[in-house]
Chain A
């Protein structure tokens, strides 16, 4: 049972464009939704996160949009840069259990 579904699997964007990655979850008990960024040969690192009582969170060029009723959330990368090329994972966290479940990841390539 896949609790967090992520799309697309891969994404190619021109420099300066907008990258959009979507996720959907099933369990309403999740209470935190982080996005992780992973570069080749490295472990994932937290990029940005949102609670379900907030509809949008922005940090620099990165924005999370959250739709609680639809159980969906998305990551928008504005003015995408070649240095943003990485694999992005959405995740859902259940604080009472300490259990973090990841989506399958999106490999983003930003072309110069």
Chain B
């Protein structure tokens, strides 16, 4: 049981390049999330999904796109990376609507944009 797996774990991009972060969970969870973590800013919600084929904006969605084509996968895309998107990105999942707020997190993906 791997839980929540993020790939890649590290990536360096140049300004303007694009990339996709992949999140996979094997717990059959309905809800999935993408957060970014920056020093002194805590964890800020980028986008989330309440089920296959659905997505919703979080607190800081600008510059990112997401897709949830399969229940177990949640992709985060950067179409034109900017230095302000240098951050550690965390994917998380939880079981169902009306749950207890227990999210299961991956180990993070560190992205540097030069």
Contacts and interface: CB of A to CB of B under 8 A. Distances in A.
Interface residues of B, number: 28
A96 interface: yes
B75 interface: no
Contacts of B74: none
A104 B40 contact: yes
Interface string B1-29: 00010000000000000000000000000
Interface string B67-110: 00000000000000000000000101010011111110111100
A43 interface: yes
A91 B106 contact: no
Interface residues of A, number: 26
A97 to B, nearest CB: 8
Q: Which of A6, A33, A42, A102 has the most CB of B within 10 A?
A: A102
A8 interface: no
A45 B101 contact: no
Given A99-B45, A105-B42, A43 B108 contact: yes
Contact of A34 (B4, B102, B106): B102
B34 interface: no
Interface in A1-28: 6, 9
Contacts of A95: 97-101
Contacts of B59: 101
A102 B48 contact: no
Contacts of B101: 32-34, 46, 49, 91, 93, 95, 100
A44 B90 contact: yes
Given A41-B107, A43-B108, A102 B42 contact: yes
Contact of A43 (B31, B40, B94, B106): B106
A98 B90 contact: no
Given A41-B107, A49-B102, A102-B35, 5 more contacts: A44-B43, A44-B90, A95-B100, A100-B33, A101-B45
